[in-house]
Amino acid sequence: ARCAVEIQRGMPERNAGIPEDRHFKFRMGINLGDIIVDGDDFQGDGVNLAVRLQGLAMPGGIACSEAVRHAVGNKLGVDFADQGTRTVKNIAQQVHVYFANWDQGVS
């Protein structure tokens, strides 16, 4: 989670001087859960949910699961906006989603 926040915080500086239509704006999804490592592949519900959260994030944003929200607490200097529960593809139960918010500066 710390890595994702630091990457996103640094993007305005990295994009400075680049035409806006060429800015990098990553969407990130973070989940805390079990995964299966098979060679170079990562599989399982933990990975699948992170991918679905990524799809919910805004460009330049981070979406995380409730497990991540509670594990991180106030440790990263970000606020979490509660997005409620969502139904996401290939996940049996509804997922409580949070968007991480921080001072993003000028993009």
Q: What is the pLDDT of residue 27?
A: 97
Tens-digit pLDDT profile for residues 71-85? 998 898 899 999 999
With bands split at pLDDT 50, 70 and 90, how would you rate the model's confidence at 106? very low
Q: Where are the domains of the chain?
A: 2-101
Average pLDDT over residues 64-74: 94
Return all residues near 54 (Cβ < 8 A) that are at least 6 apart: 27, 28, 29, 63
Tens-digit pLDDT profile for residues 15-33? 999 999 999 999 999 999 9
With bands split at pLDDT 50, 70 and 90, how would you rate the model's confidence at 104? low
CATH 3.90.650.10 fits 2-101, yes or no: no
Give ∠ CA 4-12-49 in degrees, rounded to 5: 25
d(CA 103, CA 107): 11
Q: What is the pLDDT of residue 99?
A: 97
